[in-house]
Structure 1
Amino acid sequence: MLILELFLRFFKLGFMSFGGGYAIVPLLYEEVSGIWDVTKTQFANLIGLFELTPGSVTVNAAGYVGYQIGKIPGAVLSTIGVILPSFILMLIISSLLKRFSENELTNEVIRGVRPAAMGIMCSSLIFFIGTSIMEAGNMPKSISDPLVISIPSLSIAALSFYAVHKKNINPIWVTLGAGALGVLLVK
């Protein structure tokens, strides 16, 4: 029964994952933490690990979490569950888009979806700020609590952004370098 629940949870995630890989992270955490005992910090660390492996973050997460909960059948069904909605929707959308690509209503829908996808991605940014830059034991519980920021983590984040955005360094090299800096600086 748990394996069926895995499939259904990841199917729902796959159906709701507009905006790409990182946009789904907060929803992914909510679904995963409901059936697997994992903290936000542990989950953020796993997302970093999934970034280092080939493939989509969401598909990698589905396979890993599925395996942790239901071994190989869990991994297979979780992965199928997260991929299947996109596959079905793309079959439908590609056939419709050919017919309606010049339709003004279609273009307006697409213009409305883009900002929504950006908003969803921003929620992932907030998730990662809370688990990466802020000191894990000092997460504010309310708006009046002090904000305790890890200076080494913030420095690594800023350097990584600069390296990718301004210097066009390959994200793989930046990720490996950030990992090395993390070993040296972050305790």
Structure 2
Amino acid sequence: MYWNLFVSFLKIGFISFGGGYAMIPVIEYEVRAHQWLSTQEFTDVVAIAGMSPGPIATNSAVFVGYKVGGMLGAAISAVAVSLPSLLIVVLLSLFMYKMKKRNFMDDAFYGLRPVITGLIAYAAIHFAMQNDMIGTSKLLGFEWIGILFVIAGLGLLLFTKINPVMVILLSGVMGVVIYY
């Protein structure tokens, strides 16, 4: 069991680009493949990991590892998911230092952006569908207000010089006023 945790999260760490939210579909695949958690348990893990301080992928790995193998499972999962990043950063920093004047590096990183955006969008839509957040019953109610918040916040950011922190604070205040 511990070996499976280590190998799975090491693999996740090596093949995932774009941060924690982009790693969620890969983590979910491994969790389902090994039948470590139910869909609802995994959704709860991601929700808790997102609210906890620190990277969501590492937090998710820790929570999954804990559920599967206790404290040792949590430690093994955290090390395994973080180790590839450490190794890659060390190797890339050596490589980038030598190649810093080459344009192909910028092009390669620019090409990864759509893939990362797609993985994040998939994770958001997938969890919304699993939790019945996307559907006619929800979209006919107060959720339209949330969609309007997103559009208004995006409009403020694109067409004014307002600080993004102010948009977040305004959204929070409006959310409390409307939903509380």
Q: Which bracket does the TM-score occupy, shorter chain normalised?
A: 0.7 to 0.9
| Structure 2 residue aligned with 1:63 | 62
| Structure 2 residue aligned with 1:130 | 129
| Structure 1 residue aligned with 2:168 | 169
**Number of residue equivalences:** 165
Which structure 1 residue ranges, 5 or more long, are not aligned? 136-146
> Compared with structure 1, are the counterparts of its residues 45 and 37 closer, same or farther at alpha carbon in structure 2 (3 Å cutoff)?
closer
| Structure 2 residue aligned with 1:37 | 37
Deviations 1:5-29 (A, max 9, x none): 0011011111122011111111111
**CA drift at 1:159:** 6.3
Q: Which runs of at least 4 in structure 1 moved beyond 6 Å after TM superposition?
A: none
User: How far apart, CA to CA, are the structure 2 residues paired with 1:15 and 1:164?
Assistant: 35
Q: Given that residues 10 and 83 in structure 2 are in contact (C-alpha distance below 8 angstroms), is that contact kept between their aligned partners in structure 1?
A: yes
Corresponding position: 1:158 with 2:147: yes
| Structure 2 residue aligned with 1:141 | none
| Structure 2 residue aligned with 1:144 | none
Q: Given that residues 164 and 170 in structure 1 are in contact (C-alpha distance below 8 angstroms), is that contact kept between their aligned partners in structure 2?
A: no
Deviations 1:69-126 (A, max 9, x none): 1111110000001000000000000111111121122222122222222222222222
| Structure 2 residue aligned with 1:53 | 52
Superposed counterparts of 1:1-187, under 5 Å: 2-35=1-34, 36-39=36-39, 41-134=40-133, 147-151=135-139, 154-155=143-144, 157-158=146-147, 161=150, 165=154, 166=156, 168-170=167-169, 174=172, 181=179
More helix by share: 2
Percent of aligned pairs with the same residue? 28
> Compared with structure 1, are the counterparts of its residues 72 and 163 closer, same or farther at alpha carbon in structure 2 (3 Å cutoff)?
farther
User: How far apart, CA to CA, are the structure 1 residues paired with 2:169 and 2:92?
Assistant: 33
Which structure 2 residue ranges, 5 or more long, are not aligned? 157-165
Range with bigger deviation, 104-113 or 54-63: 104-113
User: How far apart, CA to CA, are the structure 2 residues paired with 1:15 and 1:75?
Assistant: 18
Matching residue's letter, 1:127? H
Range with bigger deviation, 80-89 or 118-127: 118-127
Matching residue's letter, 1:53? S
**CA drift at 1:150:** 2.0
**CA drift at 1:44:** 2.6
Deviations 1:145-181 (A, max 9, x none): xx5442457347436636865552259x94xx68x94
Q: Given that residues 45 and 63 in structure 2 are in contact (C-alpha distance below 8 angstroms), is that contact kept between their aligned partners in structure 1?
A: no
**TM-score calculated relative to the size of structure 1:** 0.74
